[in-house]
Structures are given as C-alpha cells and as structure tokens.
C-alpha cells in the first residue's frame, strides 16, 4: 500500500507557542488512523495542517501526491482530494439538506444539477438519512446534522477524510449514530484520519493509534496499544478516560 498522507518532522508555532515539535507519521491508502491526546497536545493542529487550513513552519507534508507546504499548491485541488468534518456542522441554515450537499460538487467540480442530485442521494443513503433530503438543518438532531456534514464531504468524492472531534458536542446516543457511519466508511475502505476522544471506538476501528503529548508523537501502535501503554503519559491518559 502506498502512503496517501506523509508528514516528516513537521513544526508549527502560534507566536511564541510551539504546538507541533517534529511530528512524523504516514497514512496508507485504506488505513484508519486515530490521533488521541489531551487538549493542547497538537492533534487538531496536525489535522488542520494536512488540509492546509494551517501552514507549517518547517518540515514536509505530502497528501495525495501534492506537497502541501508548496506555496504554489492548488488549494482547490487539495480540498477536492481531502474532505474534513469538524465538531461544528457548518451547514447553511437557509438551504435544505440536499442543497447543502449539492452546492460544492456543482461549484467546485462542475457537476450538473442531475449529477449532483444523484450524488446527494447516494451519500445520504450512506449516512442513513435518505428521507431527510428536503429537511432544513434546524429540523434535524445534532447527530443528524453531523451525518449531513459527513455526507457533504463524501459528495466531493475525496481520497482522504479527516474528522476533528466530530462527536464531542453530541450526547452518547447521537455519538453512536455518527460513529456507526464512520465505522461503515472504514469497512468500505475509505482512508481516514480522525482526532477523537472515543477510546473504545479508536481501539475497535483504527489500524493505527497515535498518542500525542506536548506537541510530539509519544506512542504509536495498533488499537491494543491502549490496553498496554508503554509510557506513563499514555497510561495516565487512558486511566483518566479522557
């Protein structure tokens, strides 16, 4: 399997605050990588750098054959290849679910209205919301809105999906709905990098778990790593159930 995401010795600071201190990892096509760690450990910043929402200070990031740190990078092309879903759903409240989903494929990929509508039907089925195409966001639960946000990213037919704490604002039942969708995407072979605090989910679904601590990768391994931490920092993190 080839690397679809590659980070090498990535550094990132915000003013005098050093957030990423030489982060390196790879994601192969079809892999699910879960990044865990305390607030402020750098995990969400690493994710945002992959999609060039944040520019790195030094190091190398390559995604889908594109050098993300290249000042001349085609950002629209990068973001067609890399979908990202945030904790906040960022749906347009004045548009229906279907309109929210069809907007980007038509504007960014030149899809016809008919093509975009067919894509919307497909991705809404994937996330279990085929009956909500004509609903408005305010008519949906938080879990349903998050699943629409996932569908919207899927409609761009990305090569990689990034998830940044997508369940942290949801109650346990709605969290389960969203995690089920992500698990099904993983089973379907979607390449994913997810920042999550759901330890049981990371252990079950991720091929690789990365534990970040103070801006560095502290431990990395399979899901069973969470059952047998090799460092005191990961042991404490797991014990606290964070």
How confident is the prediction along the chain (242 residues), in pLDDT tens digits per residue? 589 999 999 999 999 999 999 999 999 999 999 999 999 999 999 999 999 999 999 999 999 999 998 989 999 889 889 999 988 888 999 999 999 999 999 988 889 999 999 999 999 999 999 999 999 999 999 999 999 999 999 999 999 999 999 888 888 888 888 999 999 999 999 999 999 998 989 999 999 999 999 999 999 999 999 999 999 999 999 988 65
Are 237 and 36 in contact by the 8 Å Cβ rule? The answer is yes
Return d(Cα 240, Cα 27) in angstroms, integer.
Answer: 28
Count of Cβ atoms closer than 10 Å to residue 32 Cβ: 25
Count of Cβ atoms closer than 10 Å to residue 131 Cβ: 10
Count of Cβ atoms closer than 10 Å to residue 227 Cβ: 9
Q: Which domains does the chain have, with CATH numbers?
A: 3-92+160-240 (3.40.50.300)
Which helix (H) or strand (E) segment holds residue 235: the answer is helix 232-240
Q: Is the pTM of this model over 0.85?
A: yes
């Amino acid at each position: 399997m080839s690397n679809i995401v590659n980070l090498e010795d990535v550094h990132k600071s915000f003013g005098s605050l050093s957030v990423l201190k030489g982060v390196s990892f790879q994601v192969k096509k079809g892999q699910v990588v879960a990044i865990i760690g305390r607030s402020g450990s750098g995990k969400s910043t690493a994710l945002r750098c992959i999609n060039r929402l944040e520019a790195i200070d030094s190091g190398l990031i390559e995604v889908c054959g594109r050098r993300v740190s290249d000042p001349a990078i085609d950002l629209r092309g990068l973001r067609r290849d890399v979908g990202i879903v945030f904790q906040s759903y960022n749906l347009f409240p004045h548009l229906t679910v279907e309109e929210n989903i069809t907007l980007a494929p038509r504007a960014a990929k030149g899809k016809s209205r008919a093509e975009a509508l067919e894509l919307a039907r497909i991705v809404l089925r994937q996330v279990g919301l085929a009956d909500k195409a004509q609903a408005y966001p305010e008519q949906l639960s938080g879990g349903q809105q998050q699943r629409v946000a996932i569908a919207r990213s899927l409609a761009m037919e990305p090569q990689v999906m990034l998830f940044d704490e997508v369940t942290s604002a949801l109650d346990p039942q709605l969290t389960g709905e969203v995690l089920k969708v992500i698990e099904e995407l993983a089973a379907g072979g979607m390449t994913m990098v997810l920042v999550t605090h759901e330890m049981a989910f990371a252990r079950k679904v991720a091929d690789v778990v990365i534990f970040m601590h103070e801006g560095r990768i502290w431990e990395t391994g399979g899901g069973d790593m969470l059952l047998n931490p090799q460092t005191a920092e990961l042991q404490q993190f797991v014990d606290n159930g964070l």
